[in-house]
Amino acid sequence: MKPQYIIDGFTGTETIVNGKKYLYFAGTGYFQLNSHPELIKAASEATLKYGIATATSRAITGNSHLLIEIEKKAADFFNTEDAVYLPSGYLTNIAGLQALSELNTFDIIFLDDGAHYSLCEGARTVDKPLIFFNHCDTEDLKQKLEQHLQPGQRPLIASDGLFPIRAKIAPLETYLELANNYDGTVWIDDAHGVGILGENGRGTYEHLALESPRLYMGATLSKAFGAYGGIIPGAARFIQQIRSGSVMTGSSSPMHAAAASGIKGLEIVQQHPEMREKLWANARYLKERMRSIGIQTEDNELPIVAFSPGNMETMTKIHQALMEEGVYIQFANYKGSGNDGILRIVVFSTHTQKQINLLTEKLGSAMRKFIS
């Protein structure tokens, strides 16, 4: 049976798991805003003023000043005409793809077969043909576009922006080129890219310096921004279509605490680019240290290192040895991890070099012990 890990208290660089304090290198709270005093204060004050939620859909009387404000704040952050806020990041792919379909922007969906579960489910809710292409394989995508598109038909190319398990960025430059060639569009789930990538933290598109009216995205506030809820930024006509769609009209309004903390998280990330710079520096330092103990990893600013030293049994032993030393990393068995799973380390902007050194020292010892 898979072990169950229960968090007791705030998650941070040190976190209590199953009653024991660990040096913590897991999760997705890249700036640790999920325990930031200003976000907690904003959530508390909003709950005291507005209650838990409006207990109805925004299509009826479920709007509040907080919900209007967070959408304005998100549009400003992403420098778009408008933005919409949804109860969860999971819903953004469903709402976004349905809106693009209603606006008649595509005829067939071409989806990376390693895409997040929510993107796969979103694609299946649209009454259009769905074709999977091999993970990040532009040649396979090109072949399938040629094979399946009839003259005049337009593709929607859909993918994660930053794939979180192995820290891989989708080849979006080629996707946009193909979308231009076929009069199509590109949609990405950028849950892990927003906040941490790009000069202004606007995500994978900004990181790759891509701009086009053919590019669309959905994201979440539950990772880099330390809050909760889904965000879709974009042109006013597209956002209005989402507001009139079934996801928006059929779901209850988000909790006020989530909206208030999301506003504050967006503000902090926007006003403090040095957090992003520290995260990038920590990522590069971690990867330098990982290479020093024999683990090959790319020299980039992505704050994730994933590796598979041996089979499941070996990785289980390494993971357990680290836990015995008070260090927690993730032993992931998730989409994209492979059949045996994968060991995965996430570094935060708040980790110190001393903590990173301790991690790699303990990891190096464990690997020498269990890998011949």
Return d(Cα 332, Cα 330) in angstroms, integer. 6
Q: Residue 191 contacts by C-beta under 8 Å, 6 or more apart in sequence?
A: 89, 116, 160, 164, 218, 219, 220, 222, 223
pLDDT of residue 311: 87
Rounded to whole angstroms, the Cα distance separating 209 from 232 reads 19
Which residue spans of the chain are classified as CATH 3.90.1150.10?
A: 14-30+273-370
Domain with CATH 3.40.640.10 in the chain: 39-271
Q: What is the mean pLDDT of residues 263-287?
A: 98
- The reported pTM is 0.94
CATH fold group of domain 39-271: Aspartate Aminotransferase; domain 2 (3.40.640)
- 2 has pLDDT over 80: no
Q: What is the pLDDT of residues 199-225, one digit of tens each?
A: 999 999 999 999 999 999 999 999 999
Residues in the chain: 372
pLDDT at residue 107 greater than cutoff 70: yes
Q: Which fold has domain 14-30+273-370?
A: Aspartate Aminotransferase, domain 1 (3.90.1150)
Q: Span 79-103, mean pLDDT?
A: 97
| Reported confidence tier of residue 341, pLDDT bands at 50, 70, 90 | confident
pLDDT at site 336: 57
